[in-house]
Amino acid sequence: MSDIEQTHETLVKSQSGAAGEGRRGTDQYPPFKETAYLRVGKRACDIAVGIAALPFVLVLIAIVGPMIAHEDKGPVFYNAPRVGKNGREFTMYKFRSMKVNAPDLLMPDGSTYNGADDPRMTKVGAFLRKTSLDEFPQFLNVLKGDMSVVGPRPDLKRETELYEGNEGDKLLVKPGITGYSAVKVRNSAPWHERLKLDVWYVHNVTFALDVKVFFATFGAVFGQKGIYVEEESEGEQSV
């Protein structure tokens, strides 16, 4: 059992009033309280990590940018509209991994389709997705203050309209480049299951948990597991 899983089990056992096991958005938590770490410490950590990552991001842009542009003559970046803390919309930066003007494919639960056989991906984009290099420009979002290094992965506006129960609690903190659900299940679990993990994180976030998630990210990326939705969970996609 990983450190992340052990931390989760310990905290879950210590919490009282949990109810509605197996139902979406029904787990009960104490009222959310913005701790000193969330107010000050987390931002200080974000700035430090963001500054340290910036040279690597610039090198990636210099190397990967021409490759993306050369393949189909499209733009290097995809400026993705997302919803952040307290429902504030912002532009999330990514290396473009899909063909220009690719349609939005949806899962039956309303989340965006993300599969290994996605016909919308470019050849360079498939590599970027597999290695998670497409997410590195988001360190610019971290430095701007839109995102944190660790936090729930941000959703589209239309996805937030599909939240059930307390799933909207994930908007109580800044979204992250990596997060608890991202390292625990990545994209392999159903969307509402990932939202449940996001809400759990929001109500249990500490510096120690963030450190564990940060370092667990390397194992998740290099382990190449859970990158895409599981085939048995795909069902039919709609445009």
Indicate the pLDDT class of residue 103, thresholds 50, 70 and 90: confident
Work out the mean pLDDT of the chain and round it to a whole number.
Answer: 84
% of the chain exceeding 70 in pLDDT: 80
Contact 196/230 with Cβ under 8 angstroms?
Answer: no
Reduced to 3 states, what is the DSSP secondary structure of residue 184? helix
All residues at 6 or more sequence positions from 227 whose CB lies less than 8 Å from its CB, including other chains: 116, 129, 130, 186, 187
The tens digit of pLDDT for each residue in 88-102 reads 999 999 999 988 888
Does a structural domain hold residue 157?
A: yes
Residue 20 has pLDDT above 50, yes or no: no
The CA–CA distances, whole Å, from 153 to 63, 138, 183, 199, 238 equal: 26, 11, 11, 11, 22
The tens digit of pLDDT for each residue in 161-211 reads 999 999 999 999 999 999 999 898 877 788 899 999 999 999 999 999 999
The tens digit of pLDDT for each residue in 57-98 reads 999 999 999 999 999 999 999 999 999 999 999 999 999 998
- Selected residue with higher pLDDT from 185 and 137: 137
Contact 221/131 with Cβ under 8 angstroms?
Answer: yes
Tell me, what's the pLDDT at 111? 75
> Among 106, 110, 108, 134, which residue's Cα sits nearest to residue 118?
106
Does a structural domain hold residue 37?
A: no
Does a structural domain hold residue 15?
A: no
Does a structural domain hold residue 176?
A: yes
Does a structural domain hold residue 17?
A: no
Distance separating alpha carbons of residues 145 and 16, to the nearest angstrom:
34
Tell me the mean pLDDT in the region 103-125: 78
The CA–CA distances, whole Å, from 187 to 149, 165, 230 equal: 18, 21, 8
> Among 154, 161, 150, 155, which residue's Cα sits nearest to residue 206?
150
Distance separating alpha carbons of residues 147 and 178, to the nearest angstrom:
10
Distance separating alpha carbons of residues 85 and 96, to the nearest angstrom:
24
Number of domains, the chain: 1
Tell me, what's the pLDDT at 237? 35
What residue numbers bound the domain in which 73 lies?
A: 46-234
Distance separating alpha carbons of residues 67 and 83, to the nearest angstrom:
29
Positive or negative, the CA dihedral 217, 223, 228, 231 is negative
Does a structural domain hold residue 177?
A: yes
Distance separating alpha carbons of residues 123 and 142, to the nearest angstrom:
28
Residue 25 has pLDDT above 60, yes or no: no
Indicate the pLDDT class of residue 109, thresholds 50, 70 and 90: confident
Does a structural domain hold residue 20?
A: no
Tell me the mean pLDDT in the region 147-162: 96
Tell me, what's the pLDDT at 17? 43
Indicate the pLDDT class of residue 38, thresholds 50, 70 and 90: very high
- Selected residue with higher pLDDT from 119 and 34: 34
Could you give the residue ranges of the DSSP H alpha helices within the chain? 3-14, 36, 42-72, 123-131, 138-144, 157-160, 180-184, 191-202, 207-223, 231-234
Q: Which contacts of 73-79 are long-range, i.e. CB under 8 A and separated by 24 or more positions? A: 74/99, 74/100, 75/100, 77/137
Does a structural domain hold residue 119?
A: yes
Please tell me which of 111-120, 131-140, 217-226 the model is most confident about, judged by mean pLDDT: 131-140
